[in-house]
């Protein structure tokens, strides 16, 4: 569902749907500011999920982190790929997911939810999810070889032939629903990094700019 995300005074977006959970803090970074992340991964567009406990910052190659540790934030870096934050309202474990098209094809968000179940006993019905700024179908043209891997791709015919556009956020929403997350607990900011490049880094728009935005979540209690 569309939910309100607020750009706070510190230059970071926060999801209103998470704010009732006083025991966590989170943020989606922009060009101007990013929230702190104590543990991140060397991201490789994979389906690999790590439990952050005992994991040092940037020590492992993977694309999602889960944790139940207090006061140790976990994060991902993106510039067009989909950043997704997960929280379990019952057990208070949290997750941070980096989902580009390869990670989405590898079902990284589903694997993160599965890891929360395995490590912390999470029931997907208790999960709240927030989808941050990413490249949207308006701007994300892909080859037909990539498009055919996703139901969330659309084809638009024009004089030059078919052009394919991929809705990566939607592909991840479908995976979360299929994993048992309730639709009304999934919040998507709807913001496009490529359309709004004044506010966000976009790899598609500026391939030579190495800027990345950090998205993180931390359990506080």
> Both tokens of residue 108?
């990284």
The window from 64-72, 135-143, 147-155, 160-168 that contacts Zn ion (CB under 5 A) reads 135-143
Residue 49 makes CB contacts below 8 A (sequence gap 6+) with 62, 63, 64, 65, 66, 108, 111, 112, 114, 115
Q: Which is nearer to Zn ion, 91 or 199 (CB)?
A: 199
Q: Which of 44, 70, 71, 138 binds Zn ion (CB under 5 A)?
A: 138
In the bound complex, what is the minimum distance in angstroms from residue 139's beta carbon to Zn ion? 3
φ/ψ (deg, to 5) at 138: -60, -30
Which region, judged by CB under 5 A, interacts with Zn ion, from 6-14, 63-71, 133-141, 148-156?
A: 133-141
**Contact (CB, 8 A) for 110 and 178:** yes
**Min CB(219)–Zn ion separation in Å:** 33
Q: What is the DSSP letter of 2?
A: B
DSSP 83-98: EEEEEETTT--EEEEE
Closest distance to Zn ion from the beta carbon of 119 (Å): 36
Residue 134 contacts Zn ion per CB under 5 A:
no
- Residue closer to Zn ion by CB (options 139, 182) is 139
Least Å from the CB of residue 135 to Zn ion: 7
Nearer to Zn ion, 1 or 138 (CB): 138
Beta strands in the chain (DSSP E): 5-7, 13-15, 24-28, 49-51, 64-67, 74-78, 82-88, 94-99, 127-131, 141-142, 153-158, 161-166, 186-188, 213-219
Rule CB under 5 A: choose which of 33, 105, 106, 139 binds Zn ion.
139
Of 112, 164, 171, 194, the one binding Zn ion by CB under 5 A: 194
136 binds Zn ion per the rule CB under 5 A: yes
Residues that bind Zn ion (CB under 5 A): 136, 138-139, 192, 194-195
């Amino acid at each position: 569902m569309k939910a309100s995300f607020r750009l706070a005074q510190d230059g970071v977006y926060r999801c209103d749907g998470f704010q009732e959970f006083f025991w966590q803090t989170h943020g989606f970074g922009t060009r101007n500011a990013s929230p702190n992340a104590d543990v991140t991964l060397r991201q490789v567009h994979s389906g690999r999920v790590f439990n952050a406990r005992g994991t040092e910052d940037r020590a492992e190659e993977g694309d999602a982190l889960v944790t139940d540790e207090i006061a140790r934030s976990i994060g991902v870096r993106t510039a067009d790929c989909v950043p997704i934050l997960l929280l379990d309202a019952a057990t208070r474990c949290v997750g941070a997911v980096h989902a580009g098209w390869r990670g989405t094809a590898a079902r990284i968000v589903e694997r993160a939810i599965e890891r929360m179940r395995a490590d912390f006993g999470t029931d997907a019905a208790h999960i709240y999810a927030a989808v941050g700024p990413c490249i949207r179908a308006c701007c994300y043209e892909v080859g037909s070889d990539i498009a055919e891997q996703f139901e969330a791709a659309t084809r638009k015919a024009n004089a030059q032939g078919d052009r394919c556009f991929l809705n990566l956020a939607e592909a991840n929403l479908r995976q979360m629903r299929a994993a048992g997350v309730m639709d009304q607990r999934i919040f998507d900011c709807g913001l496009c990094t490529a359309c709004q490049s004044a506010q966000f880094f976009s790899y598609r728009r500026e391939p030579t700019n190495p800027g990345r935005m950090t998205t993180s979540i931390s359990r506080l209690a």
